Each structure stands twice: as structure tokens, then as C-alpha cells.
Amino acid sequence: MQTAPAPHLAGNYAPVDKELTAYDLPVTGQIPPELTGWYLRNGPNPHDAASGHWFFGDGMVHGVRLEAGRAVSYRNRWVRTSTFTDGAKVNDTGGNLDLTAGSANTHVIRHAGRTLALVESSYPYELTRELDTVGSYDFDGRLRTAMTAHPKTCPTSGELHFFGYSVMGAPYLTYHRADAAGDLVLSRPIDVPAATMQHDFNLTAGHVVFMDLPVVFDLPTARSGRMPFAWDDSYGARLGVLRRDDPYGEVRWFGIDPCYVFHTLNAHDRTGPDGHDQLVLHVMRYPEFWRKDSTDVNQATLWRWTVDLTAGTVREEQLHDRPAEFPRIDDRLAGLDSRYGHATITKTPAGGAAGGTLIRYDLRDGAVSSYEFGPGRTPGEAAFAAADGHPGGDGWLMTYVYDAATDTSDLVILDAADLTAPPVATIHLPTRVPFGFHGNWLADQEVPS
């Protein structure tokens, strides 16, 4: 009797087994002629068709090239890490023996002219324009920790802010900063009591905010080959605030209700109505995550945390009740007061048609709009592509959408300002794109010649 594959290796979680290049892709609708560049998205695609958890599969980047209204090409390429090419392993405590070992399967970004595939447990891997692997990248030997998969680029300074966490011993958390030219100029340890899973963080114009939450490294789980983290009721939850203009100064810690956050939407500084200095953080919050021996995985909803730096308090508010994930903004407003954000919904309310949704939040007046993809059609994370040079202005949302009825995938482009309208364009791909994680629209004008 043939054993059914594990859920994370079945359906559209199953890996594709070939690298492809295809040209002149068919399109329904009209691609905005302003869009010239690459849409790239990363995700797990185990090359041996096996992995112990969805998070562990080898990274594969899927890219669609757009030029002046045409879908010029599609290509998918594995990220050839030392794990992929040489079988380099992590050790039995969950920490890397070699920071080049890993999957590079979580995100793909560009900074200072380099395209980097990221996973939080190792170094990034640099890719060429054609998605071939150059090799691991350690900022010319200056980076001595792993790098988060969620770095943030300051739109004012061009600096790349990121961190690395370790399960091998203190320091468990290190904050890094690279300048606009790509040089690593700051590495500062942050004192936390244990190895917690810090997947994302918050950036404002004046502050960096770390989330020290109760999903903690667990050695027995690591040795079993499963995800090596578990919920810990005794750990507590807190936010650590560091001033960007005093990066070696005090980290102020603010306690919050226990929870977990994989992904932040955005954050900004403001002066409150009482004249207090405040930070406003928007996050996708789980009430708990990875509790041992529990099969119940709670779903994230949009919350706002207002950190009052003057009063030393945090106000916590749920803003929307529909579970969603993969929150994004116009990244040119990272750390600033962005009015709009969006997220992906793959679960359907009771009584609704099975299919995914993109949801748009108005963070000022609370209004919500959405686009329903229809039965059997599931979107991934949607990246924002700007229509003009005005941050927060017009633009499009781009996402891969899987169609269960045909077992195919499309790249769908929607008007970000009007999710009630039909897609602007649907680009039909030559292969199924398995469910994955994060990506970006990389416009050509941002690439040095």
C-alpha cells in the first residue's frame, strides 16, 4: 500500500521537479506598461521531494519578467546553498555548524544592487538577474550571525536594518545595520534571556522594536527533526525599543499580553494627543502558537500596539476579526505613517465559497475592502508595485494564484486602490507554483547599470 504524502508535500504544497524557462507568456487583460522589472517570490521546494516540515524545503525562486506591457519570460531556480549542493547539515541543537548551510527559502530582496535569497537560520545567498546562484553573502566577512528573512530598508537613508538570532548561546539576538552602499556598519548584541524565535521586527523613522515572545527553542523537539520551537507559558512577552540615533544605548522593554507574531505590517512614530512620544505598531497577532501536543493552530488577526514612551505603557487593540497573514505595504513607506496595508486570506468564512482573498486595510478610518479570487483559487503574499514616484500613491498588487481545478498557477495583477475591480491582468504560467512565502516587485529603474 502506498503511503499518502505528508500534508506539507501534497497538493500545491508538493514541490515541482524541474527548473524551467519560458518566453512570451499568455496574458488575459492588459499588463500596465509602466511595469518593467521582475516579480520574484521565494518558497520551499525540496529537491529530493522530502522534508520534515514545510519550513525546511530547499528554496526555489519563481520569477516573471515584465517589459512595457509584455510578460517576457518566466523562470524558476533552486537556490544552490551548501546544503543543496554538498549536503551541509545543521547540528542536532538546531544551530548551524556552518552559516552557509540552510535552505534560503523564505524571502528575496534587493539592496545596494544585490539580489538576496533569505532564511533566518543562515547567511543570505546572492542571485544573478537570471536567478542563478552566486554564493553565500556575508557582507565581506563582517556578518557573523544568521540574517533574518525580514530586513527593512529605510526609505529616507537607504539603510538596511536587520537582526540575527541564535540558539547556540548568548548573545541570542544581534541587531545589524548596512548602509545604502551595502556595507555592514553596525552589529550590536541585544540581551534577551533565551533563544526565542524572532521572525520579524518593527522599524520606525526613529526606533527599532524587537519582539521577544514566548515561542522558545526546545532541544528535544530539535533532535526529533521537527520545528525546534515551542510555546512556553512561563516566558512572557515584551517589546524592546532601541533609538536609531543611539544604537548602542539602552533597550527599553515593555511587557505585553502573551502572543506570537510572525509578520509585522508597519510601524511609525507619532506625538500623541497628550503630547507623549509614541510608537504605533501594526502586526498580525496569534494568541499563541506551537503549544506542545496541541493540534489547534490559532490564526492571526490585525492588531495595533501603541507604545507610549513617555508613560511607559502599551495599549493593545484588535482592529479586524478576519484571520489573515502575509501583510504588506508600499515599502517606500516603511517606518512611516502608511495609511493602507494589505494581507492574504486563504481560509473562507463558514458558508462562503472555498477560495482565497486579498484584503486592504485603511489604517486611519478602519475601512476594509477585498477581492475574492473564487472557488479553488488561492493567492499567496501580494507585493506592491508602484505606479509613480509618490510613496503611498497609486500602484498594483501582484501575487501568484493557484487554481485547484486546473492544477495551474497565474501571476495576477490588481489595482491596489480598487480591490473590488477585476484583475488588471492575469499572466498564465507554464508550471504550477507551489505555495511559498515572500517576494518583491523589483523595478528596473532601481537597478544600477
Q: Which residue ranges are tagged as binding site for Fe cation?
A: 150, 199, 263, 438
Binding residue positions: 150, 199, 263, 438
Question: 3-state DSSP call for residue 416?
Answer: coil
Specify whether the CB–CB gap between 244 and 207 falls below 8 A: yes
101: its cell numbers: 548551510
Q: Burial, 18: exposed, middle or buried (Cβ in 10 Å; 0-12, 13-18, 19+)?
A: exposed
Q: Burial, 299: exposed, middle or buried (Cβ in 10 Å; 0-12, 13-18, 19+)?
A: middle
β-bridge mates for residue 125, sequence order: 117, 136
Question: β-pairing, 173-178 with 160-165?
Answer: antiparallel
48: its cell numbers: 529530493
Residues 6+ apart with CB under 8 A from 359: 322, 324, 342, 343, 344, 345, 368, 369, 370, 419
Specify whether the CB–CB gap between 178 and 139 falls below 8 A: yes
Specify whether the CB–CB gap between 48 and 84 falls below 8 A: no
Query: What's the first-to-final CA gap in the chain, in angstroms?
Result: 57
Specify whether the CB–CB gap between 298 and 258 falls below 8 A: no
Amino acid identity of 303? W
H-assigned helices in 140-267: 219-223
Alpha carbon distance 406, 259 (integer Å)? 38
Alpha carbon distance 436, 105 (integer Å)? 8
> Torsions phi, psi of 333, nearest 5?
-110, 15
| Dihedral sign for Cα atoms in the order 250, 199, 213, 321 | positive
111: its cell numbers: 539592496
442: its cell numbers: 523589483
Cell 553573502 identifies what position? Answer: 137
271: its cell numbers: 506625538
Alpha carbon distance 3, 98 (integer Å)? 34
Neighbours of 232 (CB within 10 A): 19
β-bridge mates for residue 116, sequence order: 109, 126
429: its cell numbers: 504560467
